[in-house]
Amino acid sequence: MTLIDLRSDTVTQPTPEMRQAMAAAEVGDDVYGEDPTVNRLQDLAAEATGKQAALFVPSGAMGNLAALLTHCQRGDEAILGDLSHPYIYETAGLAALGGIQPRTLPNQADGRLRLDDIRQAIRPDDVHFPISRLIALENTHNRCNGAALSAAYTAEVGQLARQHGLLLHIDGARIFNAATALGASVAELVAPADSVTFCLSKALCAPVGSVLCGSADFIRQARRIRKQLGGGMRQAGILAAAGIIALQVMSQRLGEDHARAARLAAGLAELPALRVHPPQTNIVRFQLAEDAHLPAEQIVAGLAAEGIRIGHGAYMGFRAVTHYWIDDAAVDKTLAAFRRILA
Ligand SMILES: *Cc1c(COP(=O)(O)O)cnc(C)c1O
């Protein structure tokens, strides 16, 4: 039985082309800056995001943390969404390791922070207050059904940040999904940001790694922080080789994942027991209707018995994420299983 794993796009395995490139990768010691494959990945990432420089990091969490530690001093405040990844899913690294106080604002259903909320959260210059140093956005927004933030909205936040002397960081773990959904370039979407991270290891299928991008000076400092966090890697070109294919090849096919997510969502929405959020990208979230007669655990177990895995949590409800290893037949099989279980 081939497993249909819809829990996340992090489950994607490297493609055969990636494995070949990894085996053949030219490598060197990247802590010395001497790995040609890492250097090439970083150049390509800087180019794709329209930034001066880039840094290969082991994970998205380390990318976000290195960015925040580089931008903020201890006791500074970072403004971010209450459903944002760094606030919920990164084990409070910003507070524990950076001494940074998170100032959370309510994420709207479409992933945005309201401009008025941001304006009111920025601290005046007063000896009692922490210094508001940074605003962080997330694009696409994981907990907000994979919603994509537009270039126009991001520009407004960027302008607000500059007016008040704040920095803007974008957690762009799935920024290539956002660019695909909006028909925009990644560079356009992150133009107002001082820094951006994106993941190679999600829908882009690389086995490991994220990239942090920003100005040359920022990346020089972030490189030191990465070392401090234990993220200096040696012959990392083995991993970067897969990352290059992720960036150049796999980023071009995400529309397929979005189309399959839309088809999955439309099929699930026909079932009276489910309340489905129409997806904008590759993340389909849904809940049980109030009068549904089957507990969620039983649905998850029923699917697992048929070789189908989906995400479920008390707070988030169900989550199904489409990716390279989910084809049309997998969507059909998943819908058929749901119909049977909920009949
Ligand atoms: C996955 C993800 C990250 C980073 O995750 P890692 O598992 O550390 O690579 C960061 N932000 C968002 C929005 C994510 O979905």
Residue where one domain finishes, among candidates 212, 230, 251: 251
Which residue has a Cα nearest atom 5 of ligand 1?
60
What is the structure's pLDDT at 198?
98
Tokens representing 104 are 């959370």
Average pLDDT score over residue span 49-65: 98
Is the predicted pLDDT of residue 1 greater than 70, yes or no? no
> Do residue 192 and residue 318 come from a single domain?
no
Q: How far is the CA of 173 from the centre of ligand 1 (A)?
A: 6
Is the predicted pLDDT of residue 134 greater than 80, yes or no? yes
Pairing of strands 132-138, 167-171: parallel
* 129 falls within a domain: yes
> What residues are paired with 276 via a beta bridge?
286
pLDDT band at 314 (very low <50, low <70, confident <90, very high): confident
Mean pLDDT is lowest, of 3-17, 168-182, 310-324, for 310-324
Is the predicted pLDDT of residue 76 greater than 70, yes or no? yes
* 2 falls within a domain: no
Q: How far is the CA of 292 from the centre of ligand 1 (A)?
A: 32
pLDDT band at 243 (very low <50, low <70, confident <90, very high): very high
Structurally, the chain folds into a number of domains equal to 2
Please, how many CA atoms are within 13 Å of residue 52, restricted to the half-sphere of its CB? 8
> Do residue 206 and residue 146 come from a single domain?
yes
> Do residue 25 and residue 162 come from a single domain?
yes
What is the structure's pLDDT at 290?
87
Residue where one domain finishes, among candidates 216, 251, 286: 251
What is the structure's pLDDT at 268?
98
The CATH number given to whatever domain includes residue 257 is 3.90.1150.10
Q: How far is the CA of 301 from the centre of ligand 1 (A)?
A: 26
Cis peptide bond N-terminal to 140, omega within 30: yes
> Do residue 239 and residue 298 come from a single domain?
no
> Do residue 137 and residue 268 come from a single domain?
no
> Buried b vs exposed e over 154-171: b needs ≥16 C-beta within 10 Å?
beebbebbeeeebbbbbb
Please, how many CA atoms are within 13 Å of residue 200, restricted to the half-sphere of its CB? 33
* 62 falls within a domain: yes
Using most ligand atoms within 8 A of CB, pick from 139, 171, 205 the residue to mutate for ligand 1: 171
> Do residue 238 and residue 265 come from a single domain?
no
Domain that holds residue 200: 14-251
> Which letter does DSSP use for residue 332 in this model?
H
Average pLDDT score over residue span 16-40: 98
Sheet strands side by side (includes 195-199): 53-57, 210-214, 195-199, 167-171, 132-138, 77-81, 101-105
What is the structure's pLDDT at 294?
87
pLDDT band at 315 (very low <50, low <70, confident <90, very high): confident
> Do residue 246 and residue 257 come from a single domain?
no
User: Average pLDDT over the chain, rounded to whole?
Assistant: 97
Which residue has a Cα nearest atom 14 of ligand 1?
173
Is the predicted pLDDT of residue 28 greater than 90, yes or no? yes
Q: What is the pLDDT of residues 81-124, one digit of tens each?
A: 999 999 999 999 999 999 999 999 999 999 999 999 999 999 99
Q: What is the pLDDT of residues 297-309, one digit of tens each?
A: 999 999 999 999 9
> Do residue 267 and residue 133 come from a single domain?
no
Which residue has a Cα nearest atom 4 of ligand 1?
60
Instruction: List ligand 1's pocket residues with C-beta within 6 A.
Output: 59-61, 64, 85, 138, 142, 171, 173, 199, 201, 210
> Do residue 335 and residue 223 come from a single domain?
no
Q: How far is the CA of 125 from the centre of ligand 1 (A)?
A: 33
* Higher pLDDT pick, 343 / 326: 326
